[in-house]
Every structure is written in C-alpha cells, then in structure tokens.
Chain A
Amino acid sequence: QSALTQPPSASGSPGQSVTISCTGTSSDVGGYNYVSWYQQHPGKAPKLMIYEVSKRPSGVPDRFSGSKSGNTASLTVSGLQAEDEADYYCSSYAGSNNKVFGTGTKVTVL
C-alpha cells in the first residue's frame, strides 16, 4: 500500500488560511469516508484533528476543517496561529483492513 501524497510544505501569515491536500486512489481516499488528519509538533505524539473526512473531535478549534472530493482530501486551517506550526498527516482506511498515512506536510506560520 503506497503512502498518500501530500505537499512537503505549506505556509501562511498569522490570520490567513492554509489548505493541505492529500491525494490517494479509489482504493483508499476515494473509496471510503474514513479520512483523518493528525497534527504533530516536534518530539510529540500525533494528535487527531479531523476524523471521518470532516468531523472535529471535542476540543479541536473550529478553525480546522476537512473535506473530500474524489480521491483527494483537504485540511484547511483558517485564522492561522503560531501554535498551528507543525507537521500534518492525513490517513485513510484502505480496505482489506489496512490503514495508510500521507507523506506529511510541514506547516510554517510566517
């Protein structure tokens, strides 16, 4: 199972929005509504930010939103804040009881 494709980096100024794409295939992202997004600060464990494409766990700010179109999912962070600077990974159920992660995107707040 190949990793989902994400851009290596993305950036924005405080208050701006940044959108990260996550491209897979019809066997993973396009085939199931089980796309999730994780935020990881250096040296820390990943944190669930979005699940089932667009749902936010309790405690995650509504500045974080998710969507999906075809084989590509997206995470948008609106109103960027300094603490949003981190690595972000998408993940998808990939059938046959497999899960696959994205290649990761480093978000920089300028």
Chain B
Amino acid sequence: EVQLVESGGGLVQPGGSLRLSCAASGFTFSSYEMNWVRQAPGKGLEWVSYISSSGSTIYYADSVKGRFTISRDNAKNSLYLQMNSLRAEDTAVYYCARGYADFDYWGQGTLVTVSS
C-alpha cells in the first residue's frame, strides 16, 4: 500500500524557517517524481514545487521561488521542503504528492502556521 506521511509542521514567526519531511513507503520511491502542494485554511490547492525522480530537475511556483528548497533522499525514501523567510501567506496545510502532471497519491498533510 502506497503511503506518504508528512511531518515537521508547526508554528513559526514571520521570517523564520521550517523543514518539512515526507516519508514514503509501499512503492519504489526512487522511480517517481514528487511534489509539494499547499492549501491555506478554507482556501483552494496551490502547487508549490516539483522534483524529478533523481533529484536533478526541480521547479518552483513563483510565490516561493528563492525562499523554498525541495530535495529528496532516495536511500531514505524521503522528500523534504526547506522553507526560509516565511510569511503569513505561507500559512497552509502542506501535502506531498506523487506524480508529474497529475498527482495520484497524497499524504495527509502537515500544518504550517506563520504568526507572531
């Protein structure tokens, strides 16, 4: 059974940093492209970042470019999102999701709250 489990969310002050993790199981992680997608409270979904199966190709939404860094460790079946210079508008549930043009499996999400 495919499982994606996010962790690392929490309360952080504006300008602060946070690192999210996504632990994958039930499939050959190193063969799949991965993404981070977020959802602000009561709002819609927003694609954040993409990483290829090898980690050699990375893309970001304009809203996070220069502040967020996606990475992966295929040996540990894990996906990461380093978030720096956090803003109030980054407050959201962050999901990891598998795929490229569409996302066939999602984690349960981890809540990031940016507030003083």
Contact = CB atoms under 8 A, between A and B. Distances in A.
Contacts of B102: 34, 36, 48, 51-52, 91
B44 A98 contact: no
Among B47, B95, B108, the most chain A Cβ lie within 10 Å of the Cβ of B47
Interface residues of A, number: 25
Given A45-B108, A45-B109, A98 B103 contact: no
A97 B59 CA distance: 7
B42 to A, nearest CB: 10
Interface stretch (A68-76, A77-85, A99-107): A99-107
B45 A101 contact: yes
B61 interface: yes
Contacts of B95: 45-46
Contacts of B103: 36, 38, 46, 48, 91
A89 interface: yes
Interface residues of B, number: 21
Given A46-B95, A99-B47, A1 B62 contact: yes
B47 A101 contact: yes
Top 10 nearest A-B pairs (CB, nearest first) are A36-B102, A34-B101, A51-B102, A45-B106, A97-B59, A99-B47, A101-B45, A104-B44, A93-B101, A48-B104
28 contacts: A1-B61, A34-B101, A34-B102, A36-B102, A36-B103, A45-B95, A45-B108, A46-B95, A46-B103, A47-B106, A48-B102, A48-B104, A48-B105, A51-B102, A51-B104, A52-B101, A57-B104, A89-B44, A91-B45, A91-B103, A97-B50, A98-B59, A99-B50, A99-B101, A100-B47, A101-B46, A103-B44, A104-B44
Given A36-B102, A99-B101, 20 more contacts: A1-B61, A34-B101, A36-B101, A38-B103, A45-B106, A45-B108, A45-B109, A46-B103, A48-B102, A48-B105, A91-B102, A91-B103, A97-B50, A97-B59, A98-B59, A98-B61, A99-B35, A99-B47, A101-B44, A104-B44
